[in-house]
Structure 1
Amino acid sequence: MVRLTVTNAQNMDDISSNKDTSPAPEAAVAVVVVPFPAQGHLNQLFHLSRLLSRRGRLSVHFVGTATHNRQVRLRVHGWDPHRHPVRFHDLPTPPFTSPPPDPTTPIKFPAHLQPTFEASDALRGPFADLLRAISKTSPRVVVVHDALMSFAAREASLVPNAEAYAFHSVSAFASLFFQYESRGANASALFPELPKLSTDGCFTDTFMDLVRRRHRMTEAASVSGRLLNTCRPMEGQFLDLLAREPFAHDKKLWAVGPLNPIKIGRPARHECLKWLDKHPPKSVMYVSFGTTSSLSEEQVREIAIGLERSGQRFLWVLREADRGDIFADHDKEGLRLPDEYERRVRGWGLVVLDGWAPQVEILRHESTGGFMSHCGWNSCVESLSMGVPIAAWPMHSDQPRNAMLVTEVLGVGVTVREWGRRGEVVRAKAVEEVVRRVMVYEEGREMRRRADEIGVAVRGVAAAEEGGGCGGHAELDCFVAHITRRV
């Protein structure tokens, strides 16, 4: 675990700009939430919508394509529509192709989703119409948009009683690096204690063109502040940095996480949870690489053999990456395990093939003792919330930086494969060794102790929320106080 010394950052007074004026007497503040159409982004902004719907008398509107709104409702954990009323608005988009993922590409970024991302540009016109309609019945309209859906900020700037806030679906740590690098600066100079990390292989050129195009649109609009799905027990020092210049851009900043539910009451339990019930505390390694990562047949085989040879209990969710439309009919061969594999590991290893598993509940289960993960920010927050150490295997996007945060800064994880060797297949021996480091060795016990400490603190941020009150998520309450302030 590294204690970081900050260099090359200007000093500034402590965060005082987040103080809010008294609440408006009217109850009619409409919050319009605009997510980016990828599972990790959809998930975070829907959970924000869920939490906002319980505060004051806000009306919360969730805006997206019919396909992605349906996807959210299918996969969300911990949502009771009676306790958390959220109104969905299905906006039209032109047809878009939904090609399969290609696990053989050297860059693991989900380029097969690019048609979906491009199609979201067509939401601008219908969104503008919806925004104007809502603005006629609400004294104030607050647009909370994914930072990659910047047209929403532009349209909000054209409505007199609307204001826009950008939601960043990455960690504060990754956000600092991205902002530094966008200026052409050497981000490694910001934290000289950390290993240097190349940005090569994180994104495709085509996706970065889309990001730059939408970033220019944001610059032309007025964004009133920023929100992140994080909290001080996880990233306090990085939040302090983001609240200062040159990173603050004279904008308010709220760390409103953790957004994922901490407790889930559900009468019907997934079969994998019943399987976990049969095993001792902290004895199972959970393995999952998210919804956008694709593994080659060779890599699947090496993981399978490594897990088997480790001799440790494991729960492996093995699925193909999402397509742009998860509901469309597709020819699907499915991922294949070695012959007789499930028979050989029966009783101490469980593979959930091509299915959807309740990740938050798995991580919360007392039998789960480690998480082999791609280090998507959702997964990191959920794992840290539950005090589970991580075997970090980043694939693309912000994941290499999240992996560095987990392993080098917080000291609650180990690296499966160095980012500089991302083009190589991770062999069974390496998988076996990493599993044993987390689950068996003293190193793993120490990581689990630190993860437990962070988990207790993170759960404390949200404890009152899950208990049925509104006393948790103090920064979220500050944000609500701000958007309901008197004019």
Structure 2
Amino acid sequence: MTTKYEVVVVIVPFPAQGHLNQLLHFSSLISSYNNIQVHYVSTKNHTRQAKIRAHGLLKKNPNIIHFHEFSIPSFPSPPPNPNSNIKFPSHLQPSFESSYHLRGPVASLLRSLSSIARRVVVVHDSLMAYVVQDFTTIPNAESYNFHSVSAFTIFFFLWESMGKPFPIEAELLDNLPSLEGCFTSEFMDFMASQRKYSKFDSGNIYNTSRVIEGKFMNLLEKEPIKRNKTQWAIGPFNPITTINNYLSIGQQQRRHKCLSWLDKQSPKSVIFISFGTTTSLKDEQIKEICIGLEKSGTKFIWALRDADKGDIFCGQVRNIELPKGYEERIIMKNKGIIVRDWAPQLEILGHLSIGAFMSHCGWNSCVESLSMGVPIIAWPMHSDQPRNSILITKFLKVGIIIVNNWESCRNEIVKSNIIEQVIVTLMLNNNIEGNEVRRRAAELGLAIRRSVAEGGITRKELDSFIAHITR
């Protein structure tokens, strides 16, 4: 058969929102280059999830990415348990393990595409190495490992797991949180099961920029961690201007109601609160946040939702109760808005009225906030988040940690007075510490935006990756 395409790129994300979203943005970046066909592969429900939560991303050109929605056997999809002793979303484990069933369909797709392209390039989430392993049987296929976490976090994970193969500055280890309580043993086993399949990858891709993590990208490029593989820091994958800029007038008129509310607020006057798609807060903690927000006097948008279920389209979700009269009171006083449906996070963070982001420090949220120049109140919950929070607050100095001790943050209810104090510190214009954090966040945001422009360091790195796979 005659070759139709020079290069076909197959994107294989891990079935969790922060992973689906990052690689959907990456798919859009790759598809902007000529003569590269992009295929995005997941289960039927997770592909649907990625698309409906993409907001304006796919509306500009909905046919530029080829979506594959593979059917797999049904799996348990229990609700999250907000009262669990460990905050990691263990209820998602059946969904994670269901991804194993994608191996056969993905292998068939790769073989089919190999006959119509000179080269098939697989970009897989690091947690999907098992699924794509059959690329090694296809002569014109090659694979690249995508890390969904920060270079900071992945460096320390690899450095520690390899027995600390070379010395590093002592300062880097000060206050570094342990991984205790960050994952379940089942998920640790799942991660370990993927690693042996990554040895045939040709390189590693990171959703970060060298203007954010140049120091830690340099550490990742030292042997034996590098393992003689090329590293590309191509982030941020997300658009670095608000999505409103490329929506049509009609689409802008259908914007989420919280954006219309933001339009009426003063610049940098509103704090956005969201703890991502894998965290469920206890009722006691929600009450303390309510009190702290109200006492701070700061206007806010709060995306108040439970963690996703493995199948977000299955069954009911918990209706989170707020203190009696709270929601009515803040609405009446024009103090805030509670978003219980899916919040357009990137559009919110890109709005001029947003002054800070109270975040769990999932890497996707960190990158979106940093690229918009928005400082972060770091409140980690599990996984890579505790270490990301140290990167944000200690090394980049573009945020304030909610509680200095990870053990306290993990095991105790954070009280309203602490929440109030941190908000006031970051949002009040006459606070010296807050002013410095906001200034550095704005400067880093500007540097990130320059890095992705023509001639910028990130754009050059993306061009380098494209040149490599089209060589």
Give yes or no for TM over 0.5.
yes
Residues 230 and 258 in structure 1, CA contact (< 8 A), matched pair in contact too: yes
1:168-209 superposed Cα distances (whole Å, 9 cap, x missing partner) = 000000011110122244999654353232110110000001
* Alpha-carbon contact 2:102-2:131 (below 8 Å) kept: no
Distance in 2 separating the partners of 1:57 and 1:474: 19
2:437 paired with 1:458:
no
Pick from 436, 442, 446: which aligns with 2:436? Answer: 446
- Select which of 327, 337, 351 maps to 1:365: 351
CA distance in 2 between counterparts of 1:231 and 1:209 reads: 30
User: How far 1:83 moved relative to its partner?
Assistant: 3.5
CA deviation string 1:137-186 (max 9, x = no partner) = 11110000001000244211111110000000000000111101222449
Query: Aligned to 1:432, which of 401, 420, 426?
Result: 420
Match of 2:192 among 198, 212, 226: 212
2:103–2:132: 8 Å Cα contact kept in structure 1? no
* TM-score for the superposition, normalised by structure 1: 0.90
For 1:301-355, what per-residue CA distance to the aligned partner results, in whole angstroms no more than 9, with x for missing partners? Answer: 110111001111111110111000111122x331111111022222443233421
Within 2, Cα distance between the matches of 1:186 and 1:309? 49
Q: Residues of 2 paired with 1:158 and 1:179: CA distance?
A: 28
Unaligned runs of 5+ in 2: none
Which structure has the highest helix share of the two?
A: 2
1:109 aligns with 2:88: yes
Cα distance, 1:130 vs structure 2: 1.0
1:6 aligns with none
Name 2:212's counterpart in structure 1: 234
What CA distance in whole angstroms lies between the structure 2 residues aligned with 1:65 and 1:353? Answer: 28
Task: State how far apart, in whole Å, the 2-side matches of 1:450 and 1:414 are.
Answer: 12
Query: What is the distance in 1 between the residues matched to 2:204 and 2:280?
Result: 31
Q: Measure the CA separation in 2 of the matches of 1:388 and 1:174.
A: 21
**Unaligned regions of 5+ residues in structure 1, if any?**
1-24
Q: Which residue identity lines up with residue 342 of structure 2 in the other structure?
A: W
TM-score using structure 2 length: 0.93
Match of 1:313 among 269, 280, 299: 299
Contact kept, 8 Å, 1:140 with 1:161, in 2: the verdict is yes
For 1:92 and 1:187, locate their aligned partners in 2 and report how far apart those are by CA, in whole Å: 45
Secondary structure of the structure 2 residue equivalent to 1:79: helix
Q: What is the rounded CA distance, in whole Å, between the counterparts of 1:397 and 1:444 in structure 2?
A: 27
Deviation string, structure 1 residues 367-396 (Cα, Å, up to 9, x no partner): 111110000001100111011111000001
Amino acid in structure 2 at the alignment position of 1:147: S
- 112, 128, 134: which is aligned to 1:155? 134
How much has 1:81 moved relative to structure 2? 5.2
Residue 336, structure 1, aligned to residue 321, structure 2: yes
Equivalent position of 2:308 in the other structure: 322
Tell me if structure 1 keeps the 8 A contact 2:38–2:66: yes
**Residue 181 of structure 2 aligns to a residue in which SS?**
coil
Q: State the Cα deviation string for residues 452-484 of structure 1 (Å, max 9, x = none).
A: 10000111123459xxxx997221111010000
Matches within 5 A, 1:14-413: 27-80=5-58, 83=61, 85-185=64-164, 191-193=170-172, 194-219=174-199, 222-263=200-241, 264=243, 265-266=246-247, 267=252, 268-330=254-316, 332-346=317-331, 347-413=333-399
Determine the C-alpha separation between the residues in 2 that align with 1:42 and 1:190. 35
1:262 Cα deviation (Å)? 1.7
Cα deviation for residue 364 of structure 1 reads 1.0
Q: 1:388 to 1:137 in 2, by over 3 A?
A: same
Aligned counterparts of 1:313 and 1:424: Cα–Cα separation in 2 = 26
Higher relative contact order (CA 8 A, sep 6+): 1
Q: CA deviation at 1:82?
A: 5.5
Whether the 8 Å CA contact 1:314–1:348 is kept in 2: the answer is: no
Partner of 1:9: none
- Residue correspondences, number: 454
Query: Residue 207 of structure 2 contacts residue 236 of structure 2 at CA under 8 Å; is this kept in 1?
Result: yes
Q: What is the alpha-carbon distance in structure 1 between the residues aligned to residue 335 and residue 362 of structure 2?
A: 24
Aligned 8 A contact 1:320 1:354 in 2: no
RMSD across aligned positions (CA): 2.0
SS of the residue corresponding to residue 148 of structure 1 reads helix
Question: Equivalent residue of 1:49, what SS?
Answer: helix
Q: Deviations for 1:413-464, whole angstroms, at most 9, x for unmatched residues? A: 1111231211100111111111111111221111010001000011112345
- Between the aligned residues of both structures, percent identity stands at 51
Q: Encode CA deviations 1:260-303: one digit per residue, 9 max, x unaligned.
A: 11221332321111111111111111111001111011111110
- Cα distance in structure 2, aligned partners of 1:209 and 1:477: 36
For residue 17 of structure 1, what is the aligned residue in structure 2? none
Measure, in 2, the Cα distance between the counterparts of 1:313 and 1:53.
Answer: 39
In 2, Cα distance between equivalents of 1:252 and 1:180 = 17
| AA in 2 matched with 1:235 | E
3-state SS of paired residue (2:204): strand
Cα gap change, 1:81 to 1:471, in 2 (>3 Å): farther
1:438–1:186: structure 2 CA closer, same or farther, 3 Å change rule?
A: farther
Distance in 2, matches of 1:373 and 1:70, equals 26
The farther-off stretch of 355-364 and 374-383 is: 355-364
CA distance in 2 between partners of 1:33 and 1:274 (Å): 35
Q: What SS does the corresponding residue of 1:305 show, helix, strand or coil? A: helix
3-state DSSP class of the match of 1:139? strand
